[in-house]
């Protein structure tokens, strides 16, 4: 990681989101913003990734792909069989019925697992449609829309939520669920994905939960939570 120049003579925060992005992008370089999986697969992966590491989620995802030929096969499988496949991701008793239930509901409504029609809906309608699936909350809905379909929905995970609060972009009492709409409204549609990925990276590498490395942060000059 390289250091970006830190502007001088500014009072502390909150910095505008576009300034946050402008300062962090040179530090972390070009991040991978390409689509991940097709929508049904992204939905499954995102449910698997809840409360576990990306590595364990990927292992569970690959196990499902190995066991079943298609996602339709997962939708038709017994919950216990899905549960056995995804044990490595943890909380399999919760995630297995969520995965099957969400896939089955998509099939019931659409007649297939093709979610590309969501690109033709207004943003709020697309988010509402996704959130109406069983076991799908704001973060899961936004991840699928943003990373699989290129729709500018803002996913807010623990890192994004923490960094946004410390920077003063949202209030200390704003929940992650409410933060989705607030942060989404602050960022240009074409920058939503980059803002999300950049804040996650910053939260993992510098603005850590237990001990933020404020002395290394290029945002310290304008961060109301900075200790330097």
The per-residue pLDDT string of the chain (228 residues; one tens digit each, 9 = 90 and over) reads 444 444 444 456 689 999 999 999 999 887 766 667 999 999 999 999 999 988 999 999 999 999 998 999 999 999 999 999 999 999 999 999 999 999 999 999 999 999 999 999 999 999 999 999 999 999 999 999 999 999 999 999 999 999 999 999 999 999 999 999 999 999 999 999 999 999 999 999 999 999 999 999 999 999 999 998
pLDDT at 94: 96
Residues 97 and 195 in one domain: no
What sign does the dihedral 26-28-30-32 (CA atoms) show? negative
Query: Are both 49 and 144 inside the same structural domain?
Result: yes
127 with 46, same domain: the answer is: yes
Are 205 and 188 within one domain? yes
Whether 216 is covered by a domain: the verdict is yes
Does 1 fall in a domain? no
Cα torsion for 117, 122, 125, 131, to the nearest 10°?
70
pLDDT of residue 30: 72
Give the pLDDT score at 115. Answer: 97
Distance, in Å, from the CA atom of 179 to the CA atom of 212, rounded to the nearest integer, reads 21
What is the per-residue pLDDT for 35? 60
43 and 145 part of one domain = yes
State residue 147's pLDDT score.
93
Residues 121, 71, single domain; the answer is yes
**pLDDT at residue 69, rounded to an integer:** 87
What is the span of the domain harbouring residue 122? 39-149
9 inside domain? no
- Domain end residue (candidates: 122, 149, 176): 149
The whole-angstrom separation of Cα 158 and Cα 10 is 28
Same domain, 60 and 138: yes
Of 104, 132, 149, the last residue of a domain is 149
Helix (H) or strand (E) holding 152: none
CATH number, position 78:
1.10.340.30
Total-model pTM? 0.88
Structure tokens belonging to residue 167: 């920077």
187 and 105 in a common domain: no
Domain tally, the chain: 2
Return the pLDDT at 106.
98
CA gap 40, 15 in Å, rounded: 37
- Of 149, 166, 199, the position where a domain reaches its end is 149
């Amino acid at each position: 990681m390289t250091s970006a120049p830190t502007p001088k003579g500014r009072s502390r925060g909150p910095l505008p989101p576009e300034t946050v992005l402008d300062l962090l992008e040179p530090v972390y370089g070009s991040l991978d913003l390409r689509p991940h999986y097709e929508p049904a697969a992204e939905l499954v992966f995102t449910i698997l990734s809840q409360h576990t590491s990306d590595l364990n989620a990927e292992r569970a995802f690959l196990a499902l792909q190995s066991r079943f030929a298609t996602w339709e096969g997962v939708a038709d499988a017994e919950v216990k069989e899905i549960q056995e496949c995804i044990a490595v991701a943890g909380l399999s008793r919760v995630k297995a019925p969520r995965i099957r239930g969400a896939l089955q509901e998509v099939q019931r409504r659409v007649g297939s697992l093709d979610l590309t029609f969501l690109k033709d809906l207004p943003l709020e309608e697309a988010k509402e449609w996704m959130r109406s699936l069983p076991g799908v909350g704001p973060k899961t809905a936004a991840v699928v829309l943003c990373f699989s379909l290129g729709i500018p929905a803002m996913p807010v995970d623990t890192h994004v939520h923490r960094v946004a609060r410390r920077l003063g972009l949202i209030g200390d009492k704003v929940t992650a669920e409410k933060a989705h709409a607030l942060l989404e409204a602050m960022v240009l549609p074409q920058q939503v994905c980059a803002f999300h990925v950049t804040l996650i990276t910053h939260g993992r590498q510098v603005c850590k939960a237990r001990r933020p490395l404020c002395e290394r942060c290029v945002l310290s000059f304008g961060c109301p939570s900075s200790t330097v």
